[in-house]
Structure 1
Amino acid sequence: MRTPEETFPTHFTFGVATSAYQVEGGIENDWAEWERAGKLKEPHARCGRAVDHWHRYEEDYALAKAVGATAFRISLEWARIEPEQGRFDEAALEAYRERLLKMKAHGLRPVVTLHHFTHPSWFHRETPWHLPQSVPTFRRYARRCAALLEGLDALVISFNEPMVLLLGGYLQGAIPPGIADGALTMRALENMVRAHAAARQELLERLGRVELGISQNMLAFAPDRWWHPLDRALVRLASPAYNHAFHEALATGHLRVNMPGVASTRVAIPEARDSVEFIGVNYYSRAHLRFVPRPPFIEFKYRDTRGRGLTDIGWEDWPEGFLQTLRDVKRYGRPVWITENGIDDRTGSRRPHYLHSHLAQVLAARAEGVDVQGYLYWSLLDNFEWLEGWGPRFGLYHVDFDTLERRATPACDYFRAVATQRRLVAPGTL
């Protein structure tokens, strides 16, 4: 094993991450419909104007630069771009192009996500993911998005956390489209893999070259009862299915999921083989798995095994799993980008320590030969957190949701110190 690195190389990128629906405001899509149906944990919560990034984007670019960021992750909102099936909004396309050009002018490399959970309202009615028609539909959308990226040297993400979308929306029915069907889950998964490959073809045709990947939510797993054989079996099945099935499909052209009694598939998708230039990792926590004698036979639990205290959203603070996750993706032989990592810390006091412990794992992974090229913190701003509504606060900048004032948290100074000095700084020494 190589000696652990103490500094980040000059080419290493520090950046911040956002997504359109969570920050822009004024979007009508499937999630807005879900909210009106009262299906959030707080039934009356609405995203609404979000934090008005749509109008304050230049202010937010300046905030990112102020913490030393040189990359800014956004998503394109499909519902703005194609509000009716087959009808594209040219004003929305021009607005996104202007935002990307100004991002570049601020010295921020664009990291552009084509699909971050949300869909136009018509999508689930007309061409849902479990139907083959979803693939040409996404291809058509990607073709229009490709024109926005010309000359920007953008890092491009086709799908954000596809397994979260599929498990939440197709297996559990907890998020749009609200289906609970294992067979349809697997059909939708296959079509999303095909859609990624189709989008890649469109991007290459327009741009000539592209740095394309996905952002995969990756969890560390442990048995809830270390002595229970079925809990231990769940752990052996969960990581290949949840963490790696999508990555493996885009590397090998073979999609394999094996979760007996829940959802399984095995299919060749040759057009997906070698279809990424980088591996995107979103890492937050570790889950303890418990077998239960009823479908879907699995419960997720978060436990504070080291006495660090659960994060405010109730997740385990487990940086050790971050290193193992990065070791695991080394197998794909591609550069790695941390496309999300962050903590719900509603007082702001824990975030510098969280950053320190997780960035230390990035350095440890690099010392072991994992080609981690960038780290994007989730998120620049407090924002709307899906089913959790307005409770969680992941932002480097605290946002007053009434006035929309952005205010620096202690993590801003810490992030700036690491990003500009390019070395791991101990919290409390600034």
Structure 2
Amino acid sequence: MGRRAAVTALALAASSALVPVRPARAATRAGAAKVPKVPANFMWGVATSGFQAEGSFPDSNWTRYAAQKKPGVTDPYKNSVDFRHHYPEDISRARALGVKVFRTSIEWARVEPKRGRRDPAALAYYDDLVRRIRAAGMRPMLTLDHWVVPGWVVDQGGWTNPRTVGDWLDEAAFVVRRYRGMGVIWITFNEASQYLVREFTDEPLTAAQAATMQAALVKTHRAAYDLIHRLDPGAPVSSNVAYGTILNGFMDGVLFDHVTDKLDFVGVDYYYGASLTNTTATNAATGEPWKVDPEPDGLYYVLRNYQRRLPRLPLYVVENGFPTDNGKARADGYTRSQHLRDHIYWLQRAIGDGVKVVGYNYWSLTDNYEWGGYRPRFGLYTVDALTDPKLTRRPTDAVATYRGIIAGRGVPSGYTPVRKPAWCTVEDPSTCLVPTPTPPAQ
């Protein structure tokens, strides 16, 4: 996950890139229908990423950004939550939830800290990580690039140097060969639009360099899709998109719109919606995501809109989560458990209305380094990374909730969302034409 940082810095005529949304029928609006259970083979999961959680991280673009206190960096990286040494217990925590998918990343900077020199200790760590995920009855979802590249790649110009495309694909081929045949779900680039935004602001890149990076990401994903299918036949491949409310057309235009023929499923990251009466998503762009007023019903419209655009593909919610301010309760009393139940309700509504949703990952299993600080807390398990030397994992209220949701194949049929549906939502303009309905009491 990444804070929706400094999106305005890359607006770049975003208004002309907005994708018109086909109106939905008013009859499908809010909780008027009971929800079906998700399919028995639905892929419940949890997610994390290497740099954000592993700790003891080698030289990379992001260790440099943290050390240099780039825009948005408020806390030192320290050792993050030291997933690299806590992963056996964290995998056990995930298994106890009942999830079937464990998403993480294989970090290029750790595997190949110097050009042509792969670290045996790093490979042993990742080998054991994948082995333990599989032994726990979970399927690995492995991200090849979660915004982090080795320091030597930075020194050669990063994505502005054409050589990086070939270097990235060489590393991808090495990783895929190592873990092929293990049921991996492959993600090439995590949130390519946010990757570009962060490099634009943190490196920083000129507009021309940003355009070069964008073209390189598209070229690399397209090549990686074919490479993965050649090396690991039958393995699904995608790149998860960051849903971006009114800027979503721009977000999709970075990578997604150019690779729809090179996706096996649509991976969607949904955190924040927006409506005529709720523009609080701007707080995410200014580094205070805990101030956003969530719109769980937006997930329903987002899933349905992507299904309409690509009806041949199934959808997977690769990331969805809830930030709190350093673990403190929200002033409005809305809890992590309520947020989770409300979003799963709308996911089930989407399935009931014919959207082919095959999986859902909660972001994240534990709190971690949110691209500059530890204040935004997204974890099912909270960790005081700055103050607790033992990095104790403490369960939030949502641990039992998620376990119950998984066991029950969703929220109960009669569940009434805590958050009422938004009126005049960005996700579907037809909602501006009808009054906001209130889900009936059950």
TM-score band (shorter)?
0.7 to 0.9
CA shift, 1:4, in A, is 5.2
Give a deviation string over 1:181-227, Cα, whole Å, max 9, x none: 22221221111011112222332232233210001111223xxxxxx
Superposed displacement of residue 21, structure 1: 0.7
Supply the AA of the counterpart residue of 1:281: V
The CA deviation string for residues 165-191 of structure 1, in whole angstroms up to 9 with x for no partner, is 112222xx1x3x222x22221221111
- Cα deviation for residue 7 of structure 1 reads 1.0
Q: CA deviation at 1:358?
A: 0.9
Which 5+ residue runs of structure 2 have no aligned equivalent? Answer: 1-26, 419-442
Find the counterpart in structure 1 of residue 252 from structure 2: 243
Q: Which has the higher strand share?
A: 1
Residues of 1 paired with 2:151 and 2:35: CA distance?
48
* Separation (CA, whole Å) in 1 of partners of 2:346 and 2:294: 13
Q: 1:321 to 1:276 in 2, by over 3 A?
A: same
Partner of 2:87: 57
* Deviation per residue, 1:141-172 (Å, 9 max, x gap): 101111232221111100001100112222xx
Q: Per-residue deviation at 1:315?
A: 2.3
Give the percent of matched residue pairs that are identical in Structure 1 and Structure 2. Answer: 31
Structure-2-length-normalised TM-score: 0.78
Matching of residues 265-414 of structure 1 within 5 Å = 274-286=261-273, 302=281, 313-330=290-307, 331-332=309-310, 333-345=312-324, 346-347=327-328, 350-387=335-372, 389-401=373-385, 402=388, 403-414=390-401
**Corresponding residue for 1:219?**
244
Distance (Å, rounded) in 2 between the aligned partners of 1:128 and 1:311: 29
Hey, what does 1:167 align to over in structure 2? Answer: 197
Q: Structure 1: state its 5+ residue gaps.
A: 222-237, 252-273, 290-299, 305-309
* Larger RCO, structure (CA 8 Å, separation 6 or more): 2
Query: Residues of 1 paired with 2:340 and 2:288: CA distance?
Result: 13
Aligned-residue Cα RMSD (Å) equals 2.4
- For residue 328 of structure 1, report the CA deviation from its aligned partner: 1.7
Residue 271 of structure 2 aligns to which amino acid in structure 1?
Y
TM-superposed CA distance for 1:301, in Å, is 5.9
Contact 1:215/1:279 (8 A) holds in 2: yes
Give, in angstroms, the shift of residue 66 of structure 1. 1.6
Aligned match of 2:24 = none
Query: What amino acid is aligned across from residue 273 of structure 2 in structure 1?
Result: R
Pairwise CA distance, 1:410: 0.7
Assess if the C-alpha contact under 8 Å between 2:344 and 2:410 holds in 1: no
Aligned amino acid, residue 242 of structure 1 = M
**Deviation of the 1:40 alpha carbon:** 5.1
Shift >4 Å, 4+ stretches:
1-4, 425-428
| 1:285 match: secondary structure | coil
**Residue 312 of structure 1, CA deviation:** 5.6
Checking the alignment, whether the CA contact within 8 Å between 1:135 and 1:198 is kept in structure 2 is no
- For residues 85-139 of structure 1, give each alpha carbon's deviation from its aligned partner in whole angstroms, at most 9, with x where no partner exists: 2322233223212210111001111010000011101112215213322211111
**In 1, Cα distance between the equivalents of 2:288 and 2:304?**
24
**What's the secondary structure of 1:284's corresponding residue?**
coil
**Out of 208, 212, 227, which is 2:233 matched to?**
208
Does the alignment pair 1:150 with 2:150?
Answer: no
Please tell me whether the aligned partners of residues 196 and 210 of structure 2 are also in contact (alpha carbons under 8 angstroms): yes
